[in-house]
Structure 1
């Protein structure tokens, strides 16, 4: 696990000092070692750099950039099945001097070319230079666990694990994309492949760039797409057969993520996802696995007691820490540095805190991310179907038309209910479409289109996102499977994986997401949706697996979100944040916002009105980010 960065400069103006600056601002991702390599060519200058967090082969033999014959590489991530691939390569005549996976990637590419990636089980982003073909290949893993940004403008290509590296290159133009700011405010993250900056892109999961250094061309290739697996014919197997095969795949995925030369632990919330990991890993082990939980002394926000009961039942080596408000408050000023693109998920604070806690004992931590997206764990999936099926379609369209003529702020009684005007606008759009996928998209908006027009000073155009992929899905998928596929391509990669990657790497901890083993989604995507969501029961398949290992009464309880009690604190101890960053003077800076409606919303919230604090949190986070990076 590392941070990688570098450039391909066809103007020849970039030097080693620039590369060192770009790489060393990622020291938090790789505090153990650093490496820099510059190639001066008549046609270009190439810089490859890496900060190393030593997980496999802790010796100097794991140093990067690493070279083999005509190939050089910088690599971030883990190839969990590297030992099996290594044996294949030995059988073909290769020998190895290191004990890690980076050398395996080099020799796999030498043997099988760009298609070598199809053999990898892992999370990865790597940049590989081939001097024979005069090309550079830039890869990102199938699910997008590891980040990779690139900037392509004025004959300069920059790449990095995090945006902050680009600020260290003198030719980087940090010009904000106003349309993408609107997307951020709507979703609380910038959906890929977009970035907050112009000319800057997130490499899509399951893709690689092929850069021809002679022709100065950049071509994008796709090598994997989750939709391809959802679009395959659904498997005709019994639920019991599905349980057996899913558990087998999960066990394999979980065990692969234990491959390490340093201590490994598990984030344990006590929910089904993290409990599945802890239960299947602890079973059959004499050594206790390490588990970690953060708690809050605020009613409705504390999962620690439930997690402790699970840990005691499984017999793990459990560590819990009750976070004080002061500890949480100390994280907030650092968020704009940790998340160097605006990112307003409301669980960033506890995720950073649990990462700090785990890092005191281990260097690698497993998390349960993707369980909800794969197995159907969010209520929004059920809600999307219910909203679009509760009335006949003609009646829904008629109601939507009537609603569009009524101002929700004028409705007595209702107008004072929680977030009413926003919900009113969303329901109107949902009924107008009658489509569950439109409902999912609307439910995913924190700020509606009409609210964006109020808050933003200038006109904007919302570009299409992966929420608009229904046309790419075959009818063998029902509404639930379509929504699961889209959530895998959107909320999972651009929200949940970003949250965990930046939080863990901010403290030099490697985060691993075993549910994102591609073999799991390739199988589960082909199951009937009723094995995942049945009536109002969510995560049917995963629940059945967990109940084989953990007493059902321990698990049957309402799900709690893993968030800090911001709704409580922002009206009390953190009130000054809203008053400062959402003041008229600060909102005017940059010429992005109309201050008046935002200040009115702020004051309504602080007075105790039923306002969704996430709207204000989105704007507050952007204001803090703007102060740091613009």
Structure 2
């Protein structure tokens, strides 16, 4: 298993020495993603020739000293390696097999099982890494190999037998992959900053996206970025790029679609048992590594469940936990975090973003995540990742994804109540309204008025009487089906931005984040459940709450979960020494990153 940074650069024309230098510079910009090793292969795609260079040959400029125009290199694959499994040079990248090369960033957690299957098919292996499994799985199954992978990945394979590039991103876009396609040349990278190393490329700010963020705090909801020339490789897709064709043709293939998953009827106890077994296995295969592992806990349902089952798997070994706390503030979670740590007898570690805040460090954080934060919890993640790095922890298990699958946001219950009225389930509506109001301490009449007002606005919009002037509201507000609302939050409105921050904050400190709830089997199972197993009797994430150990009732039935929240005011006032408005804060963040 290898978390890293990758680069793939193809052109119809042969590269100059300057192009090679640009690629080396691009790789240096993401050294944090893979400090353990690096490699570059120069490929002549027309004649199927190649020259490979290891880390020492790149550092001592052997690659540049040997390069000459009589070698018609027009494809470069480059890689920085963060070693997780098989720390030896056998797992070095770019990796070669049967006239194909791969650069790969990710983890295919079921690589052990796939490796056994491939061995039974006659394949031999030189390493214990999953990179070799991915490459040989592609050799045998072709693009269908993707459907066998359980994990997170972005990779580029040059298939020398077909002279094509085969590229892929995981189902939920956990691992980043960006591309630029211009003038018969294409570049793939792990981070946006890498494009700035190329002297033959000019980047321009996407004004539409930048205005949307500064005025409304909304990030691009599609695959565009804050640069006109750069796009995000679509999640759940592969790309076959035929290099033999005169003009490069970008035809993406979608190999996974959660919107087509059927719902099923299942009893609560049966569903709870099946989900428990799935989650335990998802955690188990995500502990496969040759480095130290820790858990981020916030005192909430999701991270507590991960710790609960991890303790069962660790056979008495103490687990290091990491948390963000702000004692004395309204957003502090210390009470619940300490409850969990004490119960499971962990080795707790804490970070306080208010005390640790430094303007220069915050600016570095902004430049690293490459997009302006919509919540200060992103900065808390940055500090947690640094703390993990300092404690020699390389793997971080987190609870991201559970809110979007099992209905963890406050807005989900409001949409659920609206849905019940639309479907004519008035008895259920008033029952849930009363229960939710009692749990949250809300006035029932006021809540009822809010739901009715929401319904009236929806009616006006659907009938054409009223127009919604925000693209965000237009796309999000009109969805009625509850499961589709959950899925939209996972694919578009919520999770992508948390995953982006997860990746940049963790990899910025050479730490890998793993997400058990984003095991595709759990996602498929969660979206097949009836609504009442997610939202029930006023409780969100009903099925997950019922899986929590009964000795942690304060966690199991808590109503005020906040997450890694960090008070905006305390951070904002430290930037210029005095409080600033949310609009000035957004402008500050945007300018720090892009200007």
TM-score tier by shorter-chain length is 0.7 to 0.9
Alignment partner, residue 76 of structure 1: 105
Which of 117, 122, 131 pairs up with 1:93? 122
Aligned to 2:500, the other structure's residue is in SS state helix
1:385–1:436: 8 Å Cα contact kept in structure 2?
no
Which of 88, 95, 108 pairs up with 1:59? 88
Alignment partner, residue 115 of structure 1: 144
Alignment partner, residue 619 of structure 1: 587
2:490–2:496: 8 Å Cα contact kept in structure 1?
no
Distance (whole Å) between structure 1 residues aligned to residue 113 and residue 422 of structure 2:
55
2:404–2:495: 8 Å Cα contact kept in structure 1?
no
Alignment partner, residue 258 of structure 1: 287
Shift of 1:555: 3.7
After TM superposition, the structure 1 = structure 2 runs for residues 412-427 of structure 1, keeping only pairs within 5 Å, are none
Shift of 1:298: 3.6
Shift of 1:547: 3.6
TM-score normalised by L of structure 1: 0.79
Q: Give CA-to-partner distance per residue, 1:425-465, whole Å, 9 cap, x none.
A: x9989743249999xxx9xxxxx958xxxxxxxxxxx6999
Aligned to 2:136, the other structure's residue is in SS state helix
Shift of 1:569: 4.2
After superposition, the Cα gap between the structure-2 partners of 1:468 and 1:91, relative to the gap in structure 1 and judged at 3 Å, is: farther
Aligned to 1:574, the other structure's residue is in SS state helix
Distance (whole Å) between structure 2 residues aligned to residue 105 and residue 468 of structure 1:
40
Q: Give CA-to-partner distance per residue, 1:33-56, whole Å, 9 cap, x none.
A: 111112134597111111100001
Distance (whole Å) between structure 1 residues aligned to residue 171 and residue 460 of structure 2:
28
- 1:132 and 2:161 matched: yes
Aligned to 1:292, the other structure's residue is in SS state strand
Alignment partner, residue 432 of structure 1: 457
Alignment partner, residue 410 of structure 2: 379
1:191–1:465: 8 Å Cα contact kept in structure 2?
no
Distance (whole Å) between structure 2 residues aligned to residue 54 and residue 165 of structure 1:
21
1:38–1:47: 8 Å Cα contact kept in structure 2?
yes
Shift of 1:115: 0.4
Distance (whole Å) between structure 2 residues aligned to residue 430 and residue 577 of structure 1:
41
- 1:331 and 2:333 matched: no
Alignment partner, residue 530 of structure 1: 532
Shift of 1:173: 2.2
After superposition, the Cα gap between the structure-2 partners of 1:392 and 1:278, relative to the gap in structure 1 and judged at 3 Å, is: closer
Aligned to 2:357, the other structure's residue is in SS state helix
1:10–1:44: 8 Å Cα contact kept in structure 2?
no
Instruction: Flag structure 1 segments of 5+ consecutive residues without an equivalent.
Output: 394-425, 443-447, 451-461, 471-477, 579-601, 606-612
After superposition, the Cα gap between the structure-2 partners of 1:434 and 1:312, relative to the gap in structure 1 and judged at 3 Å, is: farther
Alignment partner, residue 308 of structure 1: 338
TM-score normalised by L of structure 2: 0.83
After superposition, the Cα gap between the structure-2 partners of 1:298 and 1:161, relative to the gap in structure 1 and judged at 3 Å, is: farther
Alignment partner, residue 19 of structure 1: 23
After superposition, the Cα gap between the structure-2 partners of 1:278 and 1:561, relative to the gap in structure 1 and judged at 3 Å, is: closer
Distance (whole Å) between structure 1 residues aligned to residue 423 and residue 241 of structure 2:
52
Shift of 1:61: 0.7
2:109–2:151: 8 Å Cα contact kept in structure 1?
yes
After TM superposition, the structure 1 = structure 2 runs for residues 412-491 of structure 1, keeping only pairs within 5 Å, are 431-434=456-459, 449=469, 467=476, 479-491=481-493
Distance (whole Å) between structure 2 residues aligned to residue 435 and residue 306 of structure 1:
43
- 1:369 and 2:400 matched: yes
Q: Give CA-to-partner distance per residue, 1:136-191, whole Å, 9 cap, x none.
A: 01110001110111111222211111100111112222112222224434354332
Distance (whole Å) between structure 2 residues aligned to residue 468 and residue 383 of structure 1:
12
1:212–1:218: 8 Å Cα contact kept in structure 2?
no
Distance (whole Å) between structure 2 residues aligned to residue 282 and residue 392 of structure 1:
43
1:4–1:160: 8 Å Cα contact kept in structure 2?
yes
- 1:204 and 2:234 matched: yes
1:145–1:497: 8 Å Cα contact kept in structure 2?
yes
- For structure 1, which segment, 82-91 or 376-385, has the greater mean C-alpha deviation from structure 2 after superposition? 376-385
After superposition, the Cα gap between the structure-2 partners of 1:182 and 1:122, relative to the gap in structure 1 and judged at 3 Å, is: same
Distance (whole Å) between structure 2 residues aligned to residue 87 and residue 4 of structure 1:
27
1:6–1:49: 8 Å Cα contact kept in structure 2?
yes
Distance (whole Å) between structure 2 residues aligned to residue 437 and residue 559 of structure 1:
34
Q: Give CA-to-partner distance per residue, 1:510-549, whole Å, 9 cap, x none.
A: 111111000001111111011101253100011111145x
Distance (whole Å) between structure 2 residues aligned to residue 437 and residue 310 of structure 1:
47
After TM superposition, the structure 1 = structure 2 runs for residues 102-181 of structure 1, keeping only pairs within 5 Å, are 102-181=131-210
- 1:552 and 2:553 matched: yes
Distance (whole Å) between structure 2 residues aligned to residue 499 and residue 281 of structure 1:
24
Distance (whole Å) between structure 1 residues aligned to residue 343 and residue 473 of structure 2:
47
Alignment partner, residue 222 of structure 1: 254
Shift of 1:391: 11
After superposition, the Cα gap between the structure-2 partners of 1:306 and 1:84, relative to the gap in structure 1 and judged at 3 Å, is: same
* Cα RMSD (Å): 3.0
Shift of 1:480: 1.6
After superposition, the Cα gap between the structure-2 partners of 1:271 and 1:65, relative to the gap in structure 1 and judged at 3 Å, is: same
Q: Give CA-to-partner distance per residue, 1:366-403, whole Å, 9 cap, x none.
A: 1110111111100011223456888999xxxxxxxxxx
Q: Give CA-to-partner distance per residue, 1:598-627, whole Å, 9 cap, x none.
A: xxxx6xx4xxxxxxx3x4433331122232
2:380–2:564: 8 Å Cα contact kept in structure 1?
yes
1:207–1:220: 8 Å Cα contact kept in structure 2?
yes
Alignment partner, residue 49 of structure 1: 78
1:125–1:147: 8 Å Cα contact kept in structure 2?
yes
Distance (whole Å) between structure 1 residues aligned to residue 520 and residue 423 of structure 2:
39
Alignment partner, residue 591 of structure 1: none
Shift of 1:84: 0.7
Alignment partner, residue 379 of structure 2: 349
Instruction: Flag structure 2 segments of 5+ consecutive residues without an equivalent.
Output: 47-71, 425-450
